[in-house]
Structure formats: structure tokens, C-alpha cells
């Protein structure tokens, strides 16, 4: 079942750096090897999406739903994932990240053996104003 029939979208290998995809519904999307570096995906739905090998360097992934998403070898260096929903330790352990990647406090940074002063600051409390609905006129 494809996108025309309400099925998942195939964006495998797409190059859309700095894309504005805030609150996008990408449930079940094939994003393998996609270049989404520096993109704004805050509040997006990536549940069941396949992000294998995707480049999410410096992407804004705050409050994204990662339920069942595949993050094997996804590049999360410099990305922010504050308030990420349904993101598991197993998912981030399979991703590529560095000391600039910011995860929710409930998760252990995969490179935590580094000294505390080389680790990123934890996420700030969520700002309720951030999620006001977008109004399209």
C-alpha cells in the first residue's frame, strides 16, 4: 500500500537538508540513507519509520515520536532530542552520536564514559507554548 492509498511514504536516499518538517506525519516512512541534516522535525511522527543510515546531523528532533522507529547507524551527531517520545535506550545505542547529541535525561548517553564537562547539557523542561497548533490560512 503506497502513499496514494494512505500507506507509508518512500523517501529512501532523499537529500533534503535544512527541511522544515515540523509536525510532519512520517509514520512508517522509508527514510533509509536519507539526508535530513539540520532539518527541523520537531513534533514529527516518525513512529515505525526506517531511518537506517539516515543523516540527521544537527537535526531538531525535539518531541518526535520514535515508537518502533529503526535508528541503526542513523547519524545523530549534534542533534537535539529533548522530549523525544517512545525513544528507547536500545534505539540510541544503535545510532551514531557524539558528545554534542542531546538526549532526554531518562536515557543514558551512549558515550557517557567521557568526562562530565565534555558531555552536552541535559534537555530543558518542555515549553508548553512550543506545541501550539499550527494554523494554516
Query: 26-35, 72-81, 113-122: which range is least confident on average?
Result: 113-122
103 CB-near residues (< 8 Å, 6+ apart): 81, 84, 87, 92, 97, 109, 123
Domains of the chain in sequence order = 10-107 (2.160.20.80)
Is the distance from CB of 57 to CB of 77 less than 8 angstroms?
yes
For the stretch 1-59, pLDDT in tens is 445 445 689 999 999 999 999 999 999 999 999 999 999 999 999 999 999 999 999 99
Q: What is the CB neighbour count within 10 angstroms for residue 58?
A: 19
Output the pTM of the full model: 0.80
Q: What is the pLDDT of residues 99-116, one digit of tens each?
A: 999 999 999 888 744 444
Amino acid at each position: 500500500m503506497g502513499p496514494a492509498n494512505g500507506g507509508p511514504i518512500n523517501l529512501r536516499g532523499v537529500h533534503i537538508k535544512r527541511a522544515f518538517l515540523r509536525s510532519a506525519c512520517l509514520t512508517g516512512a522509508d527514510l533509509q540513507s536519507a539526508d535530513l541534516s539540520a532539518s527541523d522535525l520537531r513534533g514529527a511522527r516518525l513512529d515505525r519509520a526506517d531511518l537506517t543510515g539516515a543523516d540527521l546531523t544537527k537535526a531538531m528532533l525535539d518531541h518526535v515520536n520514535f515508537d518502533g522507529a529503526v535508528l541503526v547507524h542513523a547519524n545523530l551527531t549534534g542533534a537535539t532530542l529533548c522530549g523525544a517520545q517512545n525513544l528507547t535506550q536500545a534505539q540510541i545505542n544503535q545510532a551514531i552520536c557524539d558528545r554534542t547529541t542531546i538526549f532526554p535525561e531518562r536515557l543514558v548517553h551512549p558515550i557517557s564514559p567521557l568526562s562530565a564537562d565534555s558531555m552536552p547539557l541535559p534537555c530543558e523542561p518542555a515549553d508548553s507554548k512550543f506545541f501550539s497548533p499550527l494554523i494554516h490560512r
